[in-house]
Chains A and B, each alone.
Chain A
């Protein structure tokens, strides 16, 4: 049995604010992925859902929710929740089932509807740190992004203009992406002139929240031959936790770990996320043609260049301004337009990143195609020590 797992099909529901049920979006994405793979729903024997916390009980059990919506077919199911990394946990669960020979064709789905404005606490429970951080400190998600951005400015001399250049790049990348919510080119002046949310970040530096859904069909390499889809290899998957002590002030925590007894981890959490997947894949950062990373803020995209290993710490601004992370450069970052053009749909986003990389490696990305793309990586990080990455190769 082959130990090579492939993405055989990818599908999305466009991101936006559509006012519909997350189940409808997920079904649209799932059907698109099935069609892309040339697979019939009856052939799917494992459904792996990424959960949403904002849609009641059906959101907690997405494996069953989407299996029912597509019409019960007796498939085995799993539901995963891991904040922003939920989508890749769902991919990892499906991959493990396929590798073990316990299923043949897996459907992975993530979908969400999100409220306008700040992502807020989902329970009214003072024992939940995600509640208490709003109550006791008023620390929103953008507050943390602001802290990270100011830290970057202090460490590397970055400026607000550097951050704005990320938005300018990503807004151009996403201009013709039919799945992106925001398709408008922004100038540096517009980004710098937008109202400040959490200094040094303005409204155009911080990603919005959106409705959206993404789905994948996964199978073993030899199974793929039975279908018409054009497979792309999943060469590495990472859902690593931090190593103690985690000295990055992760959302929604009040404090980092204490490095009193153990001074520094072997590798920082953010550095470990993508590098773990790259190591499994045997792919060097220099071999990457594209990366889809979580630009929750413009400044965080720059951190990712360094976290992935595209450049040394402090080298990201030069890479950006040299054009190395746009079309024609060494590694195009966020060719989809990234969160800047999508807005975050939490359980769908990590899956959407994999959809984009798969289409790019197949040469199916249309106007936003990265020339000759052969290897790509995704990276994200969210609440409670969750991060994820997938490496795909042609």
Chain B
């Protein structure tokens, strides 16, 4: 059984996965999720917006966890495990994007300002296989990009 993304077209997979956002061809303003019909910058009336792979690395703007099972449509299965969330600041795009923290990362090890990178990981499994989503994983100190 293969894996499939939790939502089509929001991220690329492979060796160097990235979130798929959009970028205004005139003013450079980014958006996530992608928004191809208009630019959010009120000073810009450009309507030529292109898809853009967003930076794979950023720094933690803030973080938290979920100790209780969220409501539908979150899929937790019978063995709900608490998970962490991080809101990550992308230096180039100048924006903050939220995602779960990769499995196996000790919550206590997270800190605002720490560098993280985007990974694609299993969110839940069903009869058709694994459903994957984007997550943030701390970059080991000294690791090169």
Contact = CB atoms under 8 A, between A and B. Distances in A.
Contacts of B44: 261
A260 B61 CA distance: 17
Nearest to A129: B33
Contacts of B33: 129, 254-255
A132 B9 CA distance: 13
A245 B43 CA distance: 11
Contacts of A75: none
B96 A249 contact: yes
B28 A137 contact: no
A151 B40 contact: no
B62 A260 contact: no
Interface in A140-166: 140, 142-143, 146-151, 154
A73 interface: no
A143 B64 contact: yes
B75 A135 contact: yes
Given A154-B113, A254-B32, A146 B24 contact: no
B118 interface: no
Given A126-B7, A136-B7, A151-B112, A199 B94 contact: no
A259 B44 CA distance: 13
Contacts of A151: 61-62, 87, 112
Contact of B95 (A129, A198, A255): A255
A256 B6 contact: no
Nearest to A119: B71
Contacts of B83: 138
Nearest to B44: A261
A143 B87 CA distance: 10
Contacts of B27: 260-261
Interface range, A side: 35 or more
B10 A136 contact: yes
A198 B62 CA distance: 12
B3 interface: no
Interface centre among B72, B85, B99, B112, by most A CB within 10 Å?
B85
A232 to B, nearest CB: 36
A388 B133 CA distance: 35
Interface in B34-82: 40-44, 61-68, 70-75
A249 B99 CA distance: 12
A387 B112 CA distance: 27
B70 A199 contact: no
Nearest to A120: B71
Interface in B73-129: 73-75, 83, 85, 87, 92-100, 107, 112-113, 123
Contacts of B96: 247, 249, 255-256
A147 B73 contact: no
B18 interface: no
Interface in A115-144: 117-118, 120-121, 124, 126, 129, 131-132, 134-140, 142-143
Interface string B3-36: 0001100100000000001001001111111000
Interface centre among B29, B70, B95, by most A CB within 10 Å?
B70
Contacts of A120: 71-72
A135 B107 CA distance: 21
B112 A150 contact: yes
Contact of A137 (B75, B95, B99, B112): B99
Nearest to B72: A120
Contact of B31 (A126, A134, A255): A255
Contact of A138 (B31, B87, B97, B100): B100
Interface in A260-283: 260-263
Nearest to A135: B73
A16 to B, nearest CB: 22
Interface string A33-59: 000000000000000000000000000
A23 to B, nearest CB: 25
Contact of A261 (B21, B24, B61, B107): B24
Contacts of B92: 260
Contacts of B133: 136-137
Interface string A221-257: 0000000000000000000000011010100001111
Given A143-B64, A150-B64, A260 B71 contact: no
Interface in A180-221: 195-201
Contacts of A21: none
Given A137-B133, A261-B24, A154 B97 contact: no
Contacts of A262: 29, 41, 43
Interface of A: 117-118, 120-121, 124, 126, 129, 131-132, 134-140, 142-143, 146-151, 154, 195-201, 244-245, 247, 249, 254-263
Task: Please give me the 4 A-B residue pairs with the lowest Cβ-Cβ distance, nearest first.
Answer: A146-B64, A154-B112, A120-B71, A259-B94
